[in-house]
Structure formats: C-alpha cells, structure tokens
Amino acid sequence: MSQYNNVSVVKKANVYFEGKVTSRTVLFEDGSKVTLGIMLPGEYEFGTAQKEIMDIQAGELSVLLPGNDKWLEINEPAKFEVPANASFKLKVKTVTDYICSYID
Amino acid sequence: MSQYNNVSVVKKANVYFEGKVTSRTVLFEDGSKVTLGIMLPGEYEFGTAQKEIMDIQAGELSVLLPGNDKWLEINEPAKFEVPANASFKLKVKTVTDYICSYID
C-alpha cells in the first residue's frame, strides 16, 4: 500500500535538530498514529516514550539500539523496533525517508 | 483548522535539492491535492506546472515571483501565488514549513 487512506494529517511539521529531522503526523480513525519523516545526513539521538517501530523507506544509516554495543547497518528498506522509555542513536549517511509507528 | 481530515497521504516523500526541500503529498476526495513541505536554509528555484498557492506556516524567506524584480520578504505566516508554467526563486533564511496548493 503506497498511501494511507481515510486519515487526518496535522498541518504543522514536527521539527528537530534545526530541521535536519522533520516529520508529519498522520492520525488514524482508531486513535493510533504514525509520523512520516525525513532525516538529513548527521548524527542524532532520540528518546522514546512509547514503543516505536521505525520503517526505513529509503536511505542509508547506522542505528545503535538500546542495550546494544554493535551498530546495525541499514542500506535498503528495513524495519527496527525501539522499546518504550529508551534512547537510540542514528548515524544517517544519505537522506532517509521513514515511517515511525507508535505502539501502546 | 489545524489538520486535514478524511484525506489520503502518500507514504513516500518528495525529495528535492538533496533533501534540503522535502514534502508529503496529501490527496483530497475531490481529486485535489496539497503538499506539506519543509525547506532548509538555502537558495532554490522552482518551476510550476499548475498555478500554486504557497502558504508559509513558519519560517523567514525572500521570494522572487515571476515578472518581478523586487524580492518579497516573508517574516511571518503569509501566502503568495505563483502562476502556472512559471518559475520562482526562494532565499530561505530559517527552517520553513509550508503548504503548497495546486490550482487547475
């Protein structure tokens, strides 16, 4: 499925790291949401409140997941999961297009 | 209205200028569309196919509209219109959050 149907979209962007990471919030009828985001090359650390599933649609990056000492290399579309109340690090090498889902 | 309801959203981003300009496409039931975009600081030139209305939600920038020799300064939320089959130039000073509507 290349698009979400019957959703709401928040007009204002979410802006982080001086705009090097931005996203748009998409709300579903059942109350769940995803963000559709772009990350430009750089190094970032994020904290989670809920569990998150990151679906990398395009881009090359390395990810350090909580409790890991080895970076995960992503060079093609891939998903990874981050537990709630944790932090993870990213080294983004090329413009990265992602979908982040939030799980209760 | 802070969000669009009952719309479709294309999952993949539109990426221009090595990711310094990106947008997401929102499709309405009546067949019309807008893009929700982010521009990072930089200088850009865009061409239009349809007439476009640019609604600047946040950001500081200067705009050179077709047929003008004076730059329009935007320092707060503002709208400007660009005719079809034209080109316009932008000097973006701070991260800019925009909505572009396409008019037949």
**In sequence order, what are the residues at sequence separation of 6 or more whose Cβ sits closer than 8 angstroms to the Cβ of residue B69?**
none
pLDDT tens string A69-101 = 999 999 999 999 999 999 999 999 999 999 999
Residue B22 pLDDT > 80: yes
* Domains delineated in chain A: 8-103 (2.60.120.10)
User: How close A5 comes to chain B (CA, Å)?
Assistant: 4
Short-list A25, A39, A33, A37, CA closest to A101: A33
State residue B1's pLDDT score: 75
- Residue in chain B lying closest to A100 (CA): B11
Q: Are strands A21-27 and B42-47 parallel, antiparallel or unpaired?
A: unpaired
A58: chain B residues, CB-CB within 8 Å = 12
pLDDT tens digits for range A20-53 = 999 999 999 999 999 999 999 999 999 999 999 9
**CA-based nearest distance A42→chain B, Å:** 12
Supply the pLDDT for residue A18.
97
Nearest chain B Cα distance for residue A67, angstroms? 30
**Which pLDDT value is given to residue A34?**
98
Q: What is the 3-state composition of chain A as percent helix, strand, coil, each rounded to the nearest 5?
A: 5, 60, 35
Tens of pLDDT, residues B29-52: 999 999 999 999 999 999 999 999
* Residue B104 pLDDT class (50, 70, 90 cuts): confident
Q: What is the pLDDT of residues B50-77, one digit of tens each?
A: 999 999 999 999 999 999 999 999 999 9
Can you tell me the ipTM of this complex? 0.94
Out of A6, A12, A22, the one facing B57 most closely (by C-beta) is: A12
